[in-house]
Amino acid sequence: MTPLDDLSRRARFAYCFPGRYHGHSMPQPLRRLCLALLAVFLFASSTPVRATDNPATFPLSDVKPGMKGVVYTIFEGDQVEKVDLEVIGVLHNAVGPKLDIILVRLLGDKVQQTGVVAGMSGSPVYFDGKLAGALSLKLGNFTKEAIGGVTPINDMLEIEQVPAPSSPANAGISPRVALPDEFAVRTATGSGQFLVPIETPLVTSGLYPETLARFGKDFSSWGMTAMAGGSAAPSPEDAKLQPGDMVGIDLIEGDLSISSGCTVTTVVGNQILACGHPLFGFGAVQMPLSRAHVIMTLASAASSTKIISTGATIGTLTQDRQTAVMGTLGAGPPMIPLDVTLDTPAEQKKYHFEVIESAQLTPTLVATAAYNGIVGSPAYGEGATLQMDGTIDLKGHTSVQLEDLFATTDQTTPVAFYVATEVMADFARIYSNPYELPKVERIDLHVKALAEHRWATIDNAWIERSEVRPGDSVAVKVLLRPYRGAPFIQEIPVTIPAQTTRGSLELVVSGADFLNRNVQSLAASSQGQLPGLEELIQLTNRERHNDRLYATLLQSTPTMLVEDKEMPNVPVSAINVLDTRQNPGNARLLLQSTAGEWSVEMHQVIAGQRMLTITVK
């Protein structure tokens, strides 16, 4: 913005009303024209300028306590409003070496009611008509005054020169900034007050309260405040941004939308800077940018927030750094298509989503979308059993198979949550693999709700004789107690392998869940040790299923895992050879071997386990 000083205002006023200053009047038609031009000038001087190639900036070294300035933000609609402020002081090295913060006090009736609002992050701050930075921090909660911290513009502009690679989740979130005693006195705060990043609204549309209850903690860990929002119809004006407007960063689009919102600090050509603090701190990113509209500002004594809706995609967020986020206006980035089909005895529901590509966020977002799609059907009920059948399609690789049966044994956990977390675990294993960046072409999930509760627990297990010889066949009998109905006995035929080691062995009778959690999983142990992604996919597709009853024979002899191969009962000589090699490659050694594994399909979820001891003569 370029506001005019008082002298220039008086000069223009004197020209339109010369009689007031020079003792003579102006013809009426000319006066009407002058008043119209004056109205245009006054409107232009009260709003920030549009995008410029070279915005004038105010150096941090010139910022002094007591200086007056303005900040531009939106409280309602798309109307950018001016809020006066004054400088309290400068906090040097506040959020890191050579990363200073300008401490300011916002003034005016609105901010007296709202304080610093979630969603104000990035609101541009001007001194003498020059851009000084972005409002990015606030002084705790329940404070009586609207005290905020401003990220200097020069620190924000350095974002293009930071080539650091992506960092782990939340690594870039600004830490709490302790308020020095001299500033605490001037802001009328007690000891222990901290500046913290202004919350980023996480706006959801189509998200059921039950879904938010299940995944709300994940959203909070991202430093965001989840709330209901909406979506707006696309407009040709969406991409015409000015400082003080709001943009959305879209995480999920389609039948469910999840977006975060920040305020635009400056627009230079087709690039924007926003937020004034990191969104997630991931570094280089590819996330869709959309135009955000403020429905209203909700005032709260604890934490006021903007309620927003998002419109059309207007560009791509490319950088998520310590001092700002940066994006490019234009086309949005590619996203991962996710289709969820839910079949119930009454109807079939189909949902389509588009999810961002992010190693840190995508697994949770996929689980959220899948869960929301399942619980969204009126025919879905907690007494149902869910049969999952789906695929994760990868370019140039075998599809990951998503097949299993789910029925809850814990009445406090919805069965849909088990489905969602299973999909999340498989997706995370593939998407976060250490071999190559996978190109996920689509995720297709088909869930069938079975009316009856298909679940049984292992009540007891025994074998007809405890002493066997290699090559013998024995029947393992298992007493199963279903969810409802009479207990029944299921037999598992077991043939002792001819190469089984003599001595006492442990026979584990269980469902898949116990084996996957407690018996060494080859897929889990091989992460980072395989030739490539294809071998990891093959191991994932061989995982055990919940609807089978397993009998696993374990012996206390070592097992060697070589790439995607399992070599039980490894002789000591082979281990010695491995130890003497300088480069043993991808071989690992386990202290226990699986002598054999047998299973029978049960068409219901099996829970529980029993341990039996047999002696091989």
Residues 6+ apart with CB under 8 A from 369: 252, 256, 338, 340, 351, 353, 355
What's the pLDDT score for residue 573?
Answer: 52
What's the pLDDT score for residue 602?
Answer: 94
> Residue holding tokens 């869709």?
288
pLDDT band at 4 (very low <50, low <70, confident <90, very high): very low
Q: What are phi and psi of 113, to 5 degrees?
A: -85, -40
Q: How many Å apart are CA 551 and CA 509, to the nearest integer?
A: 5
Rg (CA), the chain: 32
pLDDT in tens, 115-140: 898 889 999 999 999 999 999 998 86
What's the pLDDT score for residue 493?
Answer: 94
Angle at 368 between CA 364 and CA 373, to 5 degrees: 150
pLDDT band at 490 (very low <50, low <70, confident <90, very high): very high
Q: How many Å apart are CA 509 and CA 513, to the nearest integer?
A: 12
Does CATH number 2.40.10.10 belong to domain 60-196?
A: yes
pLDDT in tens, 153-201: 999 998 876 554 444 434 444 566 766 666 665 665 654 577 888 888 8
Q: Which of 173, 163, 84 lies closest to 126, judged by CA?
A: 84
Q: What is the average pLDDT across 31-48?
A: 45
Q: How far apart, in Å, do the first and last CA atoms of the chain sit?
A: 90
Q: What are phi and psi of 464, to 5 degrees?
A: -70, -25
pLDDT in tens, 312-369: 899 999 999 989 999 999 999 999 999 999 988 888 889 999 999 988 889 999 999 9
Within 13 Å, how many C-alpha atoms sit on residue 13's CB side? Answer: 10
pTM above 0.85, yes or no: no
What's the pLDDT score for residue 584?
Answer: 46
Residue percentage of the chain with pLDDT more than 70: 75
- Are residues 451 and 384 in contact, defined by beta-carbon separation less than 8 angstroms? yes
What ranges do the domains of the chain cover?
Answer: 6-45, 60-196, 336-450, 456-616
Q: How many Å apart are CA 251 and CA 288, to the nearest integer?
A: 8
Q: Across-strand partners of 135?
A: 123, 150
What's the pLDDT score for residue 406?
Answer: 92
- Over 80: is that where the pLDDT of 586 sits? no
pLDDT in tens, 363-402: 999 999 999 988 877 667 666 789 999 999 999 999 999 9
Q: How many Å apart are CA 518 and CA 510, to the nearest integer?
A: 11
Beta strands (DSSP E) in 321-378 are: 325-329, 336-343, 348-355
The tokens describing 555, both together, are 């012996």
- β-pairing verdict for 473-482 and 455-463: antiparallel
What's the pLDDT score for residue 64?
Answer: 95
What's the pLDDT score for residue 196?
Answer: 83
What's the pLDDT score for residue 266?
Answer: 94
What's the pLDDT score for residue 54?
Answer: 61
pLDDT band at 598 (very low <50, low <70, confident <90, very high): very high
